[in-house]
Amino acid sequence: MRQVEQTPVWFMRQAGRYLPSYRKLRSVKGILEIAKDPGLASDVTVDPVRQLGVDAAVLFADIMLPLEGIGVKFKIEENLGPVIENPVRTREDVEALGEFDPEQHVDHVLRAISLAVEKLDGVPLVGFSGAPFTLASYLIEGAPSRELHLTKKMIYSDPDTWNLLESRLAKLVVKYLRAQIRCGVSAVQLFDSWVGCLSPADYSAHVRRHSTEIFSGVGRRVPTIHFCADSSALIEEFAGTGCDVLSVDWRVPIETVWERSGGAKGVQGNLDPAAAEAGGRVMEKGVEDILRRTSGKRGHIFNLGHGVLRETPPENLKRIVDMVHRSSAKR
């Protein structure tokens, strides 16, 4: 890990929906239209750096985009998320999925990265992908689901088909992240947003090796970050996947993550996004508390415990950035 003069800060979902400039764009363009337009996507990526002073940009894209290339048909419904036209629920469905070619299937994403890197003029850009479990959960359920009963049903009743699907998705993700790195991202984050529904034993048996394959496939090209919501039961498992940084939500005391992960990892997080939305003294106390808990710890990246909420005032996020920079520079 490289020493820095102050704690770096960026926000998950910082490129998008809370910014007036993005809302204006969304009034005339759909989310996938923007994501597939390299010029627009790169502008949305860069805007938060200019407006908030964050230390890194995060790529504006959708985790479902690479799945189009292998034959998955979907749409993004407002206030719901991805809805799959052709869910994947049998071995035959899995075997029908095509091979992924990033240069062919997500050329728009790669061009957006190149444009954003040029516009950022040295500010790091964070790329990302959904993890195999989370991607599979959308494919199997057909739409966002907190219960994930169809996904668990496949895991328990047809583990061979589950592992085939996970293996194919892991290979897709490795190709996707390597392509992002070739185009200039400075770090990559693997989002396993829904895997917190599993027990540590089930995660170890059915998921961990596929995530490990991804971090091994990315190698030491750039730093790697691993995120899961509701992850407190899985810290040790996540630490064993080979990532460099664990990104945790607000449900786990951030200072304990170093201890539970063996002390060698960086840790990212973990202000409750609702506190960022609320602002005022509640938000400021939350920031101060996290900085106190992480004081003296090596490798902290300040972030929210999940994505920026839609109604968050941008000035609240700018206040967080200013507080983190000012307070951490005094240490």
Predicted pLDDT at 241? 95
Predicted pLDDT at 2? 61
pLDDT tens-digit profile of 61-73?
999 999 999 999 9
Read off the pLDDT of each residue in 166-170 and give the average, rounded to a whole number: 98
Q: How many domains does the chain have?
A: 1
| pLDDT above 90: residue 81 | no
Query: Among candidates 274, 225, 304, which has minimal Cα distance to 14?
Result: 304
Q: Has residue 240 been placed in a domain? A: yes
pLDDT class for 330, splitting at 50, 70, 90? low
pLDDT tens-digit profile of 191-228?
998 999 999 999 999 999 999 999 999 999 999 999 98
Predicted pLDDT at 254? 95
Predicted pLDDT at 3? 67
Q: Has residue 244 been placed in a domain? A: yes
Residue 170 sits in a domain whose CATH number is: 3.20.20.210
Interhelix angle 159-182/149-157, nearest 10 degrees: 120
What is the distance between the alpha carbons of residues 191 and 268, in angstroms, rounded to a whole number? 13
pLDDT class for 329, splitting at 50, 70, 90? confident
pLDDT tens-digit profile of 169-196?
999 999 999 999 999 999 999 999 899 9
Q: Has residue 62 been placed in a domain? A: yes
Q: Model's pTM, two decimal places?
A: 0.96
User: 1 and 245 in contact (C-beta within 8 Å)?
Assistant: no
Per the DSSP assignment, residues forming a β-bridge with 75 are 83
Domain interval for residue 102: 30-257
Q: Has residue 171 been placed in a domain? A: yes
Bigger pLDDT: 148 or 145?
Answer: 148
Q: Has residue 140 been placed in a domain? A: yes
DSSP H/E element including 199: none
Q: Has residue 77 been placed in a domain? A: yes
Q: Has residue 36 been placed in a domain? A: yes
What is the distance between the alpha carbons of residues 187 and 222, in angstroms, rounded to a whole number? 5
Q: Has residue 159 been placed in a domain? A: yes
